[in-house]
Amino acid sequence: MQQRCSSSAKNLCRKILQPRTSIQATTGPPCDIFINHRGIDTKRTISGLLHDHFFRMGLRPFLDSRNMKPGDRLFEKINPAIRNCKLGVAIFSPNYCDSYFCLHELALLMESKKRVIPIFCDVKPSQLQVKDYGTRSAEQLQRVGWALEEAKYTVGLTFDTLTGDWSHFLNDANDAVIKNLVELEAENPSSKKSTYIVQGRE
């Protein structure tokens, strides 16, 4: 009797899980929003907060510390997520430019012609400069330098983590993301997933 019950339960689980697996594999991009950030500055504060907020909204954000597991190879996960995302959110912080990986992600977002919302967290755009430690070629430095300049001259949000209003910032960031997703949806009306998300927001 117990074996029959166990077998029935397993069959029921298969029926429930199989359609979800199929849907996830065939519809929509792996993520709606790629969050480009410097972990030591913002992972436990602004980046993590935005990821969790967008997730609760029904969106699919990508944040490396949330979406990757031990054993995953960085570029094998991050590069496809960037190429297939709908929108990028680049969180600039004091130590952002010290990381070539951050700059690589930003460059790939720009090269993939993704719309990017810059957030200047505890740093001014004029303070962001590519640093040459002698470990990258001139071509690589030119690539990331171009991407950084593109981002610096894009209208974005600013936030001071010491004196800023977190609730107000979260609302501003949310509105900016939703507005951009609506505009992207209008440019690509075949995307049913984003229409559903925006309607859920309303």
Contact 16, 71 (CB under 8 A): no
> Cα–Cα distance between 73 and 17 in angstroms, integer?
27
Which candidate in 105, 111, 183, 185 is catalytic?
105
DSSP 8-class letter at 136: S
Contact 59, 197 (CB under 8 A): yes
Q: Is 150 a catalytic residue?
A: no
Q: DSSP per residue over 9-67, as a string?
A: HHHHHHHHHHHHHHHHHHSS-S-SEEEE--HHHHTTTHHHHHHHHHHHTT--EE-HHHH
Residue 121: helix, strand or coil by DSSP? strand
Query: In angstroms, what CA-CA distances link 171 with 12, 116, 128, 163?
Result: 41, 18, 25, 16
Tokens describing residue 112: 């993939």
* Catalytic site positions: 105
